[in-house]
Every structure is written in structure tokens, then in C-alpha cells.
Amino acid sequence: MESTNLKSGFFSKDKDLKNRILFTIMMLCVYRLGTYIPLPGIDAQSLQTLMQSKQSGILGMLNIFSGGAIKRMAIFALGIMPYISSSIIIQLLTGVSEYFKNLKSQGEIGRKKITQYTRYGTVLLATVQGYGISVGLESSSNVVIDPGVFFRLTTVITLVAGTIFLMWLGEQITQRGIGNGISLIIFSGIVAEIPRALAATFELGRTGALSVPIILMIFILLLSTVAFIVFIERAIRKILINYPKRQMGTKIYGGESSHLPLRINTAGVIPAIFASALLLLPVTFSNFGMSDSGLFAGLSSLFSQGRPLYMLLYASGIIFFSFFYTSIVFNPKETAENLRKQGGYVPGIRPGERTAYFIEEILTRLTTIGALYLTLVCLMPEFLISKYPIPFYLGGTSVLIVVVVAMDTVSQIQTRMMSQQYESLIKKTRFGR
């Protein structure tokens, strides 16, 4: 009780942390407001009728990441997905293109240049996707009040501007707020729609579309999934690191032991988001009335829930990005070199290349387990969604994003609080001297 009061008292004194949290909440409120501002020239009644018949498949997944903006055809309908897709392309290029490899090795200057290219790619992808949506809406009966070049132009400009604004909003949250801005934007969109999804599920039970045992099974599975995600995300593999003893004069320093923590899921929620983005990219407008074309009709059916091709591509994307993103965020050779410089070593393993190989071997095993875990969490509920009329927001990908982003944000808050406490203790010690 005493420690809780101390923490709450300290939190109230930490103005910087409080301001960061308030800024984050304010920016997310701005985002949620934008998901309710409709595009100009849209007939709301006809749009609602269209969306009721297009709840499943890729469109339903896209609606998740846009926070319901697709369903309402708001100015943020594209959401942040063009930025994520552009980031994927640029990161893939850093692995295959010498030019981008050189940019990456140039430090801060190279990073700024890569960020600039990512933004250019975001504008390009948003323009293509925005045009696809405008054409798709025009081909749908009675949705567009006044079809034509002017409607297409205003729609593309509005959607591109909305995506650019969200990209800027995410960067502001990351710099001046708490947590990762892009992840929090997706998180807030999902969380905002979850109460509606729960109400829809209970309504299905009331009307008899779902039996009571099925609803209970869904919620038990949901709670089990959350517990499983928390367990895996908190699990780490510790590699023992020893430091040799050093004698300076009559005193002996060092000789202590430490450990190198390796997470099972080093990549976090990124593989699921990236894989979803790739699935969404080629068929953004396949569900918008362009089904008159046999190509788009076939494409839409192949990417519906529970289809083998959809499941195969989704699982392959998750596994690929798990290994790809882990290789970006963690470099075994660099870690081994830093340990060698500090005098640290793994017992029984020679410093340098052998240590790097040892760490890489363990990391590969952990990443394999992490990739299988992400695939299981993301795909298992999809089979239920394809069989029963369960809302998309209760799917595995949505739950994974919500739990992981919430855990990461809370962890950042705790880290900031601990650092502030440490700084205050240092100041008190110096003052006492």
C-alpha cells in the first residue's frame, strides 16, 4: 500500500510523463474524430447498404486497421497501411539494394534519407489505393452522388491527405508522446470498435444465430489467447555472460556474472501487421463493386476467410517477416563484438566469431518458435470467423495487436518512471554531499 502511494505520488510530480500521456491521448482523439468525417459526394444510405454485404474477406480486415473508417468511408479510410506498406518495401530494398545498404550504414544522415523515401512511397501507394477506391465506389450503384473526374480527384486528394496526416500524427506521438505512434493508431482503432463487436456477438446469441455454448467457447478462447500472448511475450532465454576478475593495486575488480536476455518473439507484432499490409495492398478495391470483372470476383473469393490461399499467404508472410525483422533489430555479430570489447564471454564459448555463431543459433531457434506462435495466434481464430458470424475485431490479429501494443506502452511508462526515480535519487545524493 505504501509503495503504491509512493508511485502515485511520484507520478503526479512527473510532469513530463504526464504531459506525454496527455499528448498521446489528445492525438488519438484527433485520429478517432477523423474516422467519422465522411468523404464528400458519398450517399450515406447506399454506402451502408453496400458495406453490410461486404463484411468479410479483405475488406473486413482493412476496416480493422482503419478503425472502422472504411465502413463509414471517412477521410482516414486508407488509414496508416500505405505507410506500413512503403516501410516494408524500403526495408526489403535495404536487404537487396547496394544503394540502400550504403544509406543504412551512413548513420543519422542515411536514416533521414530512408525516412524521406518511405514518405515518398507512402504518397505514391496512397494515391494508387485512393484512385482504386474512387473507381470502385463509382462502379457501385447509387453510392456516389455525382460520379466523374471531379469526384475521383477530390477523393484521391482527401484520402492521400488523410494518410499523410496520420503518418505525421504517428511521428508526433513517437517523439512527444508515449509508445510507438503507428502501433498506437492501429491499437486505438481496434479498441474503439471492440465494444461494438462484443455487442454484435451478444446480439447474434439473442437472435439465435449463435448458440450460448458457442459464445462461451469464443470468450474462453479469447481469454486463453490473451493469456498465451502475455506468457510468450514475457518469456526470455537468458544467456550467461561472465566477466573476468581484474586486479588494480591491492583491489580486485570484476568477476561478476550477468546475462543476455533474448525474447522468444523478438519481432513483436510487426510481422502480423506487415503480412496483413501485403495482403491488403493488391486487392484494396476488389470488394467495391468491381466484381463485374471476373478477375476481381475471383480474387475476392480467393482472399475470403478460411480460404487455403489466404491462410497460406498470411502464414508465409508472418514467418518471413518474423525472421526478416529479427535480423534487422538484432545483430549477433555486433553483440558478440561488444561483449569481447567489454571483456565478457559465454562460458565454454570462445569470444568473437564463435560467440556470434552461438548467439545466432539460439536466436534462430527462438525466432522459429516465435514465428509459429504468431502464426497460431493469428490464424486459429480465422477458422472460427469463417465458420461462424463472429466480428473481425475478435480475431487473432486484432487481439495480438491490442495485447502487445498495450504491454509495450505500459513497459515504456514504467521505464520512464524508473529513470526519473533514479535521477531524483542521484540529485538527492549529490545534494546530501
* CATH number for the domain that contains residue 53: 1.10.3370.10
pLDDT the model gives residue 285: 47
What is the residue-level pLDDT of the chain in tens, covering all 433 positions? 444 444 444 445 568 888 899 999 999 999 999 888 888 888 777 777 777 665 555 566 667 777 777 778 888 888 888 888 888 888 878 777 788 878 877 777 888 888 889 999 999 989 988 888 888 788 776 778 888 888 889 989 999 999 999 999 999 999 998 888 888 998 888 888 778 777 777 777 777 777 788 778 878 888 888 899 899 888 888 888 887 766 566 666 556 778 888 888 888 888 888 887 777 665 554 544 444 455 555 555 665 556 777 788 888 989 998 998 888 888 888 888 888 887 788 888 888 888 889 989 999 999 999 999 999 888 876 666 666 666 555 667 788 888 888 888 888 888 888 877 776 667 666 555 5
For the chain, give percent helix, strand, coil, nearest 5.
Answer: 75, 5, 20
Q: Can you give the residue range of the structural domain that contains 389?
A: 2-432
* Rounded Cα gap, residues 263 and 233, in angstroms: 7
pLDDT the model gives residue 123: 92
Give DSSP secondary structure letters for 125-157: HHHHHHHHHHHHHHHSTTTBSS-SHHHHHHHHH
* Rounded Cα gap, residues 307 and 101, in angstroms: 38
Q: Total domain count for the chain?
A: 1
Ranges assigned E (strand) in 192-309: 236-242, 245-248, 251-254, 257-263
pLDDT the model gives residue 289: 46
